[in-house]
């Protein structure tokens, strides 16, 4: 079914029962934001852009329409135009969902819904909401954001108060179908060696997340854990030799946990997260032995921000990815380490700017050979300017 039609259907499901009410009664709101980034690297070209010459190929426009026809029901749809170097340059359906909240302990969201993984998966695409121009790539890879952001299915959610000084526990249970688009950044390195996924890759998926939010003297602290799983193997047709030889890929079941925490109080925020993402896949082509693709990416970051004033905040993070089963024999290809220093200035509630410096060592992630035909250097500095407007 056309994905845009799903969005329209979800909106209609919410609005039709309220027929006869005025637009004001339906509480229809339209919000959006747009960002424009500029990337400059000292050595390697990054994120499929020509960043060593300075690249403005990073743009985003989001429009969101929300309606709340009654206090328990909300329906909304969000569309996005996203372009990053060689990726995107199209309008996609971010998500489209109906949300029924029975009470604080139980609610359900269904449609194309954001997947509650980790600390930032549900907000990683909302640039105005966080400090960074580029999130820690090991845990929130920008080139795979479209695939990781949402799934078709549902989320059960709610929260329980544990006691006067024991805080509260939030839960999310989710399941459905996830589809990795054939043009998604997750397939970039495969495309470079002539392997194509004409129909993308996808299948059933499910998971859960728990957040404990403290009260009392630890007010502002949240600790959480989430788990992501593919339900069984995923299979998809593939083509090699740049589209001339058909085959099949079987991606084995994935179990990927995240452990995370955040503390926010007054002017300070500190957060940390760890993720493990194992990969095991088999490529089968006629008359050739099965090729195995393996990986065991373990990523983490620690970050902190401080509000210098009502308009200006500064931040720093350290992020590392190590692939414990990397096929690369050169050490630099098995890891990426990134020290980032950042500032964000809010001109007003609508317009903001971010400036960021990354000191990157290792080449395990964020690089592609198409934009780096001469090979990769082990270290790169990346400077990012980004301006955004939201309403």
Partner 1 sequence: MKKLSLVFLLLVAALLVATRAQAQVIVIANSSVKATEVSKSDLRDVFTGAATELKDGSRVVPILLKAGTAHEEFLQAYIGKNDTAYRAGWRSLVFSGQATMPKSLDGDAAVVEFVAHNAGAIGYISKGSAHEGVKVLAVK
Q: Kindly indicate which of the ranges 39-47, 49-57, 121-129, 290-298 contains the residues binding partner 1, using the contact rule CB under 8 A.
A: 121-129
**Considering the rule CB under 8 A, would residue 74 count as an interface residue with partner 1?**
yes
Give 306's strand partners. Answer: 268, 314
Contact assessment for residue 239 and residue 251, using Cβ atoms and an 8 Å cutoff: no
Residue 288 makes CB contacts below 8 A (sequence gap 6+) with none
Q: Within positions 325 to 384, which residues make up the interface with partner 1, using CB under 8 A?
A: 346, 348-349
| Smallest distance, partner 1 to C-beta of residue 79, A | 12
**Considering the rule CB under 8 A, would residue 109 count as an interface residue with partner 1?**
yes
| Smallest distance, partner 1 to C-beta of residue 157, A | 9
Which one, 14 or 333, has the nearer CB to partner 1? 14
Q: Which two tokens stand for residue 187?
A: 């397939």
- DSSP E strands in the chain: the ranges are 28-41, 55-70, 73-84, 87-103, 106-114, 150-163, 167-180, 201-213, 221-230, 234-240, 245-251, 255-265, 268-284, 291-307, 312-323, 335-346, 351-361, 379-390
The rounded radius of gyration (Å) of the Cα atoms in the chain is 22
State whether residue 187 is helix, strand or coil: helix
Neighbours of 249 (CB within 10 A): 20
165: exposed, middle or buried (C-beta count within 10 Å: 0-12, 13-18, 19+)?
exposed
Q: Kindly indicate which of the ranges 51-59, 73-81, 178-186, 353-361 contains the residues binding partner 1, using the contact rule CB under 8 A.
A: 73-81
**Considering the rule CB under 8 A, would residue 122 count as an interface residue with partner 1?**
yes
**Considering the rule CB under 8 A, would residue 97 count as an interface residue with partner 1?**
yes
Which one, 280 or 351, has the nearer CB to partner 1? 351
Among 99, 249, 364, 368, binds partner 1 (CB under 8 A): 99
Buried b (16+ CB within 10 A) or exposed e, 340-371: bebbbeeeeeeebebbbebebebbbbbbbeeb
Among 36, 64, 189, 372, binds partner 1 (CB under 8 A): 64
Among 36, 66, 245, 383, binds partner 1 (CB under 8 A): 66
**Considering the rule CB under 8 A, would residue 43 count as an interface residue with partner 1?**
no
**Considering the rule CB under 8 A, would residue 62 count as an interface residue with partner 1?**
yes
Question: How does DSSP assign 215-276, residue by residue?
Answer: -GGGTTEEEEEEEEEESS-EEEEEEETTTTEEEEEEEPP-EEEEEEEEEEETTEEEEEEEEE
Q: Kindly indicate which of the ranges 51-59, 118-126, 183-191, 251-259 contains the residues binding partner 1, using the contact rule CB under 8 A.
A: 118-126
Q: Within positions 164 to 203, which residues make up the interface with partner 1, using CB under 8 A?
A: none
Among 219, 290, 328, 381, binds partner 1 (CB under 8 A): 219
Q: Which residues are near partner 1 by CB under 8 A?
A: 27, 29, 31, 33, 62, 64, 66-68, 71, 74, 76, 78, 95, 97, 99, 101, 103-104, 109, 113-114, 122-123, 125-126, 128-129, 159, 215, 219, 265-266, 307, 310-311, 346, 348-349, 390
């Amino acid at each position: 079914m056309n994905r845009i039609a799903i969005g329209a259907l979800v909106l209609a499901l919410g609005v039709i029962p309220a027929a006869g009410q005025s637009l004001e009664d339906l509480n229809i709101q339209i919000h959006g934001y747009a960002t424009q980034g500029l990337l400059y690297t000292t050595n390697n070209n990054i994120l499929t852009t020509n960043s060593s010459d300075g690249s403005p190929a990073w743009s985003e426009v989001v429009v969101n329409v929300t309606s709340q026809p009654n206090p328990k029901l909300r329906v909304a749809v969000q569309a996005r135009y996203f372009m990053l170097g060689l990726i995107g340059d199209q309008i996609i359906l971010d998500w489209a969902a109906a949300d029924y909240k029975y009470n604080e302990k139980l609610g359900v969201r269904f449609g194309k819904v954001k997947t509650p993984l980790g600390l930032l998966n549900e907000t990683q695409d909302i640039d105005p909401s966080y400090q960074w121009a580029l999130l820690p790539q090991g845990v929130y890879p920008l080139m795979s954001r479209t695939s990781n952001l949402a799934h078709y299915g549902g989320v059960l959610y709610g929260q329980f108060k544990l006691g006067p000084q024991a805080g509260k526990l939030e839960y999310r249970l989710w399941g459905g179908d996830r589809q990795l688009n054939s043009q998604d950044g997750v397939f970039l390195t495969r495309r470079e060696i002539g392997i194509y996924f004409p129909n993308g890759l996808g299948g059933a998926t499910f998971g859960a997340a728990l957040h404990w939010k403290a009260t009392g003297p630890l007010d502002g602290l949240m600790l959480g854990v989430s788990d992501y799983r593919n339900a069984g193997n995923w299979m998809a047709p593939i083509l090699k030799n740049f589209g001339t030889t058909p085959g099949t890929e079987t991606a084995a079941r994935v179990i990927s946990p995240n452990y995370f925490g955040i503390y926010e109080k007054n002017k300070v925020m500190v957060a940390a997260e760890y993720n493990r993402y194992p990969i095991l896949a088999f490529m089968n082509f006629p008359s050739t032995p099965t090729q195995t693709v393996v990986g065991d990416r373990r990523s983490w970051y620690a970050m902190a921000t401080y509000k210098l004033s009502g308009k200006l905040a500064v931040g720093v993070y350290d992020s590392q990815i190590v692939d414990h089963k990397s096929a690369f024999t050169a050490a630099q290809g098995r890891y990426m380490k990134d020290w980032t220093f950042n500032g964000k200035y809010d001109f007003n509630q609508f317009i903001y700017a971010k400036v960021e410096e990354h000191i990157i060592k290792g080449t395990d992630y964020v690089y592609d050979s198409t934009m780096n035909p001469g090979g990769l250097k082990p270290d790169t500095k990346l400077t990012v300017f980004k301006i955004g407007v939201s309403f």
